[in-house]
Amino acid sequence: MPLALYGHPFSSYTQKALIALYENGTAFEFRCIGPDTPEHAGEWLRRWPIARFPMLLDGERQVVETSLIIEYLQLAHPGPVRLLPGDPMAALDVRFLDRYFDLYVMSAMQLAVDTALLRYPMSVEKGRAMAGERLERAYVWLEGHLAGKTWATGEEFTLADCAAAPSLFYADWVHTIGEAHPLLRAYRSRLLARPSFARAVDEARPYRSFFPLGAPDRD
Ligand SMILES: N[C@@H](CCC(=O)N[C@@H](CS)C(=O)NCC(=O)O)C(=O)O
């Protein structure tokens, strides 16, 4: 049975896993969680009642949490692009940046989105303002960190960049990466030009109306 990924093209975490699959040309079946395919949602919820996606299915083995999905792919289905370095100290740097993008960029961006979806007892404006403060703090650190680097941890594209691409993509829609952060803006552009992420962005294009704060007319 081929690998199967349950998720949605517009979902930032689904994109994080898709980037890893596309980087290595790994064969898999995409099982979209949406109204047209209720059987996919049913199978996903039966296996993972925590109700977060994506979920990778490899035969009977399921893997959740995108960072672990990407590590699993490297262990069980390695390809030409190594997304976790072999050197354990270098791998630690990559895992740190992966955590940084998930916890301080993706989660901050998500706060604004979830508030707009009325998931928190807070006004949309307040949620967006709080998200903006957190994102600005995250941008400042990244601007210093990225000096002299092509990718998140240096010259190799890694797990950290898989996390960075969708989180910075949507974060910029919530709180623009301003001109005070030229290195971060350039890094976001490099991510957008990377074929694996460009493909994920294109596949998500039909769903832009889903963005609850209103998608800007740009990538
Ligand atoms: N830490 C999880 C986060 C997954 C996650 O939050 N996924 C979002 C989609 S981008 C989700 O399932 N949202 C469902 C919901 O909020 O109800 C991971 O890395 O996989």
**101 CB under 6 A from ligand 1?**
no
Across the range 171-177, mean pLDDT stands at: 98
Calculate mean pLDDT across residues 162-185.
98
Nearest CA owner, ligand 1 atom 20: 65
Give residue 54's identity as a one-letter amino acid code: P
| Residue 77 beta carbon below 6 angstroms from any ligand 1 atom | no
What is the CA 127 to chain-centroid distance, rounded? Answer: 21
> CATH code for 88-194?
1.20.1050.10
Q: What percent of the chain has pLDDT over 70?
A: 100
- Sole residue written with tokens 């035969």: 59
Q: What is the pLDDT of residue 1?
A: 67
Domains of the chain, by residue range, sit at 88-194
Q: Which element (helix H / strand E) includes 56?
A: strand 55-58
* Residue 119 Cα: closest atom of ligand 1: 16
**CA–CA gap between residue 121 and residue 194 (Å, rounded):** 38
What's the distance, CA 70 to chain centroid? Answer: 12
How far does the centroid of ligand 1 lie from the alpha carbon of residue 179, in Å? 30
Q: Report H helices in 62-181.
A: 66-76, 88-100, 107-116, 124-145, 159-174
Pocket test for ligand 1, best of 14, 45, 53 (most atoms within 8 A of CB): 53
Nearest to 95 by CA among 143, 148, 140, 162: 162
Ligand 1 atom with the smallest distance to the CA of 114 is 16
Residue 106's closest CA among 66, 148, 69? Answer: 66
Residues 6+ apart with CB under 8 A from 90: 153
Query: Tell me: the pLDDT tens digits for 78-133?
Result: 999 999 999 999 999 999 999 999 999 999 999 999 999 999 999 999 999 999 99
Mutating to test ligand 1, I would choose from 52, 68, 103, 118 the residue with most ligand atoms within 8 A of its C-beta, which is: 52
Beta carbon of 11 within 6 Å of any ligand 1 atom: yes
How high is the pLDDT of residue 143? 98
Q: Is-above-0.95 flag for pTM? A: yes
